[in-house]
Amino acid sequence: MDDLIAHFESPKRSHPLVDLLIRYYKEFEELRLGNEELSDLNFQKEFGLHINIPKHWDYIQAVKEVVSICKKNTVIIYPSTDVYKTVSGEFDNGGLSYFSWHELYVAMDQASSDARPLTRLKGLLLNADLTIFLGAPVGHPEITEQVRSFCPGCLIVLGV
């Protein structure tokens, strides 16, 4: 048993969340090509990666590692200012865009009077090769549905 624990605590071994995110990102293109007949929303519902992770796991490091292999357009959706400060402090901002899920909620609510904010956020998602949604709001499933419908690229939803 001690050998097993030592194996998983070894600094040479990456965290299981890192392995999962990187594997999903690397296999995404093949998965999407094999399911081209599905709309973005239906594809994300059936094949998207949406997981809740234990609070003590270092999701920031996992996100950092998957973002480092994606050298293209990346969008990070964050749940709070504290998470934004933590996440944005970990990355150089080349190729990264950020917005809060609340910003999307407000843009959706005000779209009938001013569609520009929603159009801007939709454009970010449509052009992203990788979107990481941290802390998707459980009480507002319409936010997650909008993100799924606007994401033709790889979408990773992490409940934090």
Q: What is the pLDDT of residue 3?
A: 47
Kindly report the backbone phi and psi dihedral angles of residue 154, in degrees, each rounded to the nearest multiple of 5, phi listed first: -70, 125
Question: 38-159 domain in CATH 1.10.3720.10?
Answer: no
Element spanning 52, H or E:
strand 49-52
Buried-state track 127-151, b at ≥16 Cβ within 10 A, e below 16: ebbbbbbbbbbeeeeebbebbbbbb
Please indicate, yes or no, whether the overall pTM of this predicted structure exceeds 0.95.
no
Distance CA 68, CA 119 (A): 27
67-100 residue pLDDT tens:
888 777 899 998 888 888 877 777 765 678 989 9
Res. 156 pLDDT band, cuts 50 70 90: very high
Q: What is the pLDDT of residue 108?
A: 93
Residue ranges per structural domain of the chain: 38-159
102-144 residue pLDDT tens:
999 999 999 999 999 999 999 999 999 999 999 877 778 899 9
26-60 residue pLDDT tens:
999 999 999 999 999 999 999 999 998 888 888 88
Query: In the predicted model, is pLDDT for residue 146 greater than 70?
Result: yes
